[in-house]
Amino acid sequence: MKAIVLETVGGPDHLRLLEVPDHDPGPHEVLVEIAAAGVNYMDIGTRVGMYSIAPLPMTPGVEGAGRIAAVGENVRDLKVGDRVAWFFAVGSYAERIIAPADAMVPVPDDIDLKTAAALLMQGLTASHLVSDTYAIKPGDVALVHSAAGGVGLMLTQLIKLRGGRVIGRVSSREKVELARAAGADHVVVDGTGDFADEVLHLTDGAGAHVVYDGAGADTFQGSLASLRYHGVLAYYGQTIKRQPPIDLLDLPKSVLVTYPVVHHHVRTRSDLLGRSQALFDRVREGSLKVRIGHQYPLAEAAQAHTDIASRRTTGKLLLVS
C-alpha cells in the first residue's frame, strides 16, 4: 500500500509517499481502508520533532474515517464493511491503517465518511472545552482564537448553543464572514497578537470569562490580558509552539490557566461512543456544521502542511485516498 513516511524530522519535503508492506490485524485490531485522513497542527509538531508519537521512520496522521477491511481475533463489536472513524490512531496518512478496535467509532449511515473524518478530533476537542474545561453558561463571554479554523468554528457553534457570547479572533479580513456565519457576535482581525484592548473594549473593560487559545505561545500573554477577574485561560496550543515557562506570580486578576487534553474527555470506550454520538446527532439535526476547507490527494500531504501552517486556510483539511 501507499503511505506518507517521515524518515527524519524536518520541513514539509520530508513527507514522502512510499510503498510500504501490508500487514494483517492482530488480536483486538482492525484493518481499515481509509477514505479520508484529517490534517492537524499536531502533525506539524510531529514532523518537526517537537514531540514524538512513534519511532522514526513512521507514518504521521492520527485521525480519519473509512471502511473496515479485516478484523483480528477477539474483535466482537465490529465487522468487515463497517464504516468507522477515529480521533487518535497513529499512521492515518495512508491508504490503510491497522488500529485498535477500541479506537473505532461507528459512523451512522446518514453521515458521510469525509464529514466524519473532519468532525471527530476537532468536535471532541470543542466539546471538551465548552463542557469540562469551562462549562459555558448563558451570558458568558468567550474569546475564541483562530475562529475560522476547524476547532474555532465548532467551538463558536457549541458556545452559542449553550447561550454564550463569542468574540472570535481571525488573522485576516477574508475570514471574518466565516466566523460570523458560525455565530460569532464580534470578530477581531489580528495577525500580530495585539487583540486584548479590543476584547476589553467589547466587554466594557471587564474582559472575557474564558479564552480558548489554540493559537500557540505567541498569543498567550494577550489571552491573559483579555480575561476578567477569576477568568479561565484554556490553552491548548502546545501543538503549534511551546509556551516558555511562566511564573505563577505573574498571573493577573486571580485567573486560572489550564491545558486541556482531549483524551481526558473520552477516558473510556463508553465516553468515546457517547460523546461522538452526540456530535453526530448535532450534525444530523443541523445545529453543528462541519466545514471542510480543502481536500488533497494523499501524495500532496506536504502541500497540506504548508497551507495549514500559512494560516491562510479555513475549516478542516483532509487527505483523501
Q: What distances in angstroms separate CA 48 from CA 15, 64, 85, 298, 304, one per listed residue?
A: 11, 21, 26, 19, 15
Write out the three cell numbers for 219: 498569543
Question: Is residue 244 predicted with pLDDT exceeding 90?
Answer: no
Rounded Cα distance, 50 and 42, in Å? 9
pLDDT one-digit tens code per residue, 23-68? 999 999 999 999 999 999 999 999 999 889 999 999 999 999 999 9
Which residue spans within 160-271 are E strands per DSSP? Answer: 165-170, 186-189, 208-213, 227-235, 256-258
Confidence of residue 239 (pLDDT cuts 50, 70, 90): low
Q: Tell me if residue 96 falls in helix, strand or coil.
A: strand
Whether residue 15 contacts residue 92, with contact meaning beta carbons closer than 8 Å, is answered with: no
Mean pLDDT of 2-19: 98
Mean pLDDT of 243-253: 89
Q: 135: buried, middle or exposed (CB in 10 Å: 19+, 13-18, 0-12)? A: exposed
Mean pLDDT of 289-301: 97
Rounded Cα distance, 234 and 249, in Å? 18
Mean pLDDT of 211-239: 91
Whether residue 63 contacts residue 91, with contact meaning beta carbons closer than 8 Å, is answered with: no
In 222-241, which positions are buried (b, 16+ CB within 10 angstroms) versus exposed (e)? bbbbbbbeebbbbbbbbbbb
Confidence of residue 241 (pLDDT cuts 50, 70, 90): low
Write out the three cell numbers for 307: 497551507
Rounded Cα distance, 296 and 117, in Å? 14
Write out the three cell numbers for 114: 469525509
Mean pLDDT of 172-195: 95
- CATH 3.40.50.720 in the chain is located at 138-259
Percentage, residues of the chain above pLDDT 70:
98
> Architecture of 2-119+266-320 per CATH?
Alpha-Beta Complex (3.90)
Rounded Cα distance, 143 and 210, in Å? 6
Question: Is residue 189 predicted with pLDDT exceeding 70?
Answer: yes
Percentage, residues of the chain above pLDDT 90:
91
Mean pLDDT of 155-170: 98
Whether residue 201 contacts residue 226, with contact meaning beta carbons closer than 8 Å, is answered with: no
- Helix, strand, coil percentages (3-state) for the chain, rounded to 5, are 35, 25, 40
Confidence of residue 240 (pLDDT cuts 50, 70, 90): low
Q: What is the CB neighbour count within 10 angstroms for residue 313? A: 18
Per the document, the length of the chain is 321
Write out the three cell numbers for 49: 520533532
Whether residue 152 contacts residue 126, with contact meaning beta carbons closer than 8 Å, is answered with: no
Confidence of residue 218 (pLDDT cuts 50, 70, 90): confident
> Architecture of 138-259 per CATH?
3-Layer(aba) Sandwich (3.40)
Conformation bin of residue 130: beta by default, left when phi > 0, alpha when psi is -120 to 50? alpha
pTM: 0.94
